Amino acid sequence: MGEANYKAAVIGLGSMGWGAAVSLLNAGIETVGVDVRQDVLDKFKALGGTSTTSPAEAATGCDAVMVFVVNAEQTATVLYGENGAVGAAPRGCVFLTCATTPPEFAEQIANRLSESGMQVIDAPVSGGATKALDGDMTIMASGASTAFDKAKPATDAIANKVYRLGDAPGAGSRVKMINQLLAGVHIAATAEAMTLGIKAGVDPQTLYDVICASAGQSWMFGNRGPHIIEGDYDPKSAVDIFVKDLGIVSAEGNRQDFPLPLTETALQQFKAAQDEGLGREDDAAVAKVYAKRGNIKLPGQD
């Protein structure tokens, strides 16, 4: 059974937000899902949740509001734009800002939320769609202890690991930024390795199996390799996301006057995929850039 009389909202029912919302329902927590896509809202309602297109409607009477939109601009809009959640949420409601955004933005939006009488946790997440659906996400979180206490029923439902990285908002987003540096570089490296193997005449499934049992293995290779082998580019996390996220890393490197040659190289590969019209495909579609340049056919390509 869920926490008695506890109510949560999830704004943005993409792969991670959807998993969070379903996990909250599975924990017995009254949950409102917010999205612009009616088919997704209908699907969530069929599972027993409440659905709406209005962040304000969702936040009414909530104990916790989780924001799983794509970027900083969307975060500001759903919080403070027309029908924004903050204006309708009860004073003391805890907002968890879960999108990957620049650390400076995370600090600014947290300060604004505090000034509005809300509690806030800078709470970017990781783990992928499958772990999100299993309530097994990792949260890289920073905020006041009272906010963590208020959010605990919700975070217990959606995450296996909640790393408390300090009281000051922005710390969570800085750690997530480093995670995305590694994730983006590893996806690009996976694409490079798989396509070079195919070019060299290695069977892709065999290559995958051997690498997964060898020192070259990474989480991203293990997860994204099958997308390339199966020719499945239905987006779990899109190319556009890593153009955005590695762009955040690159901008921070410039701000800190710190060289990031691997980040910049990977970012250029994702931008090339975006330029090829692949932005909405799965991020493993960066392999198509290598395949085109190497004059090879990937599995599933005509």
- Residues catalogued as catalytic: 176
Q: How many CB atoms lie within 10 A of CB 134?
A: 15
Number of CB atoms found within 10 A of residue 152's CB: 15
How far is residue 302's CA from residue 293's CA, in Å, rounded to a whole number? Answer: 16
What span, in angstroms and rounded, lies between the C-alpha atoms of 260 and 280?
Answer: 26
Cα 287 to Cα 298: distance, rounded to the nearest angstrom: 8
Distance CA 210, CA 147 (A): 46
Q: How far apart are CA 96 and CA 173, in angstroms?
A: 12
Which own/partner contact pairs does 102-106 have at CB distance under 8 Å and 24+ positions apart? 102/72, 102/173, 102/177, 102/248, 102/251, 102/252, 103/170, 103/173, 103/174, 103/177, 103/252, 104/170, 105/72, 105/75, 105/173, 106/169, 106/170, 106/172, 106/173
Q: How far apart are CA 59 and CA 52, in angstroms?
A: 11
